[in-house]
Amino acid sequence: MKSRLVQFVDKYIKSINSENAAIFAGAGLSVASGLVNWKDLLREMAEELNLNVDKEHDLISLAQYYENEKGGRGSINDQLIEQFTKDVEESVNHRILASLPIKTFWTTNYDDLIEKTLEKYGKKTDVKICPENLAISKPGRDAVIYKMHGDISLSHEAVLTKDDYEGYNEKRQLFTTALQGDLVSKTFLFIGFSFEDPNLEYILSRIRILLGNHTPDHYCFLKSLSESDYNEKEDYLYDKVKLEYKIKDLKRYGIQALLIDDYGEITEVLNLIHTKLKRRNIFISGAAHEYGYFSKLDAENLIFNFSNHLASKSYKIISGFGLGIGSSVINGALAYIYSNQKGHLDEYLVLRPFPQNIADAVERKVLWKKYRQTMLSEAGIAVFFFGNKLVDKNIVLSDGLIEEFDIAIELGLKVIPVGCTGYVSRELWNKVISKYDEYYPLNAEIRQSIEILGQDKLDEPTIITNLIKTINLLQNHI
């Protein structure tokens, strides 16, 4: 991935973590799901007017011409309903965006793919379709979707024609005000947007006038041009120059262009954001009835101090309250939070104690596997300690730890078995080292730290130092 795109990812993640990130979605986001863009929406209308939509640049006027000819917008409403009520699946980019902890979405799209996808991910949405919606906030909402140009459910109010744009600030002034506020206070990522919308251009210009050179940075994806896509070299050179001017002009509004060679790169960028965000969440897996060369107290101190170190580095810990180590995980994080009086508990610790009192063994196994999948789906790194339990007065290997390792690999987590703690963790460490390049391709520095974690009778400071080093290195491992 291009270095500029990676740099953007790191900057945007900071905005997400500070809850200042926003998405602005244009028609391009929904096209991948099988919905039309503006030109295709107006294609049949243009043909009825004996015009060629591919030769038109002012599509707003084209829509107005059609309404003028029809003597009303009934036909336009019918076309909107036909095109935007199709039964389509959300795109992969919709799904990635819905999985991110982003709370603000703006869109000029009429479809409901954004809100439906967010709801599929268990998020409570507050959709703003008309100005009256802005006066009410839905309690407990996880995301707000501002539909700047309306929604297909109110097709007669959708913003499409010149009349609609000219009357926008009378009928939908509150949307303008709300967007101005968000553009000043948040970092926007524009996806599938052409920057030819006069509403947005007006709002951006007002912000530039008010803030001058203090306009905050926003970002947009733009596709670079390839000569192979042109029949005439002259046309390619012309469009290339025009694109360069467009990029420079967007900078006036604080919008930095992220050039991509292929639209698939957008998915790669969003995936990297998702991956890096999850890498801040560390799942601690462990179970122990006995502790190998450690005493019980030494093992508890190891887990306690490791959790404390993670909290001090602002990592979030996820734990299922494993036998013999769960309380130490909790106490380590709590000790840091309370001694430093920083943040709320849920910023540092996610506890998922396993459901108990399930008599049926088969039912319990199925439920616990789903529980493990849910826990691990929230993390990006899994660390494994010990791995034994008492069965019929005999110490046996923990099958739960093995299952958590397998689920972690299936979900794409990075795994760090602390081999020196023995039992299942030793077996998992041997597995990772024997096929290291499958788990951590092309990274010798991480290998060195993981190899150390398998040495016999390591002391606590060495274990924690190498664990933290490995986790830190993984933040930049793609």
- What is the per-residue pLDDT across 75-103, written as a single tens digit (0 to 9) for each? 999 989 899 988 899 999 999 999 999 99
Predicted pLDDT of residue 197: 76
Q: Is residue 76 part of a domain?
A: no
Q: What is the pLDDT of residues 127-151, one digit of tens each?
A: 999 999 999 999 999 999 999 999 9
Going by pLDDT thresholds of 50, 70 and 90, the confidence category of residue 342 is: low
Predicted pLDDT of residue 300: 94
Looking at 233, 252, 275, the residue that finishes a domain is: 275
Q: Is residue 162 part of a domain?
A: yes
Going by pLDDT thresholds of 50, 70 and 90, the confidence category of residue 48 is: very high
Looking at 220, 242, 275, the residue that finishes a domain is: 275
CA distance 162 to 62: 9
Q: Which residues contact 62 (CB under 8 A, 6 or more apart)?
A: 42, 45, 46, 49, 51, 53, 56
Q: Which residues contact 456 (CB under 8 A, 6 or more apart)?
A: 293, 420
Predicted pLDDT of residue 418: 98
pTM metric for this prediction: 0.87
- For residue 98, what are the domain limits? 3-35+86-275
228 shares its domain with 318:
no
265 shares its domain with 311:
no
Mean local confidence (pLDDT), 437-450 = 89
Looking at 226, 259, 275, the residue that finishes a domain is: 275
206 shares its domain with 266:
yes
Which candidate, 203, 140, 198, places its Cα nearest to that of 177?
203
CA separation (Å) from 143 to 92, 98, 121, 196, 350?
19, 9, 11, 26, 21
CB contact at 8 A, 105 and 193? no
149 annotated active-site = yes
Going by pLDDT thresholds of 50, 70 and 90, the confidence category of residue 343 is: low
Q: Single out the catalytic residue among 94, 149, 218, 274.
A: 149
Which candidate, 189, 244, 266, 229, places its Cα nearest to that of 21?
189
Predicted pLDDT of residue 434: 95
Q: What is the pLDDT of residues 10-27, one digit of tens each?
A: 999 999 999 999 999 999
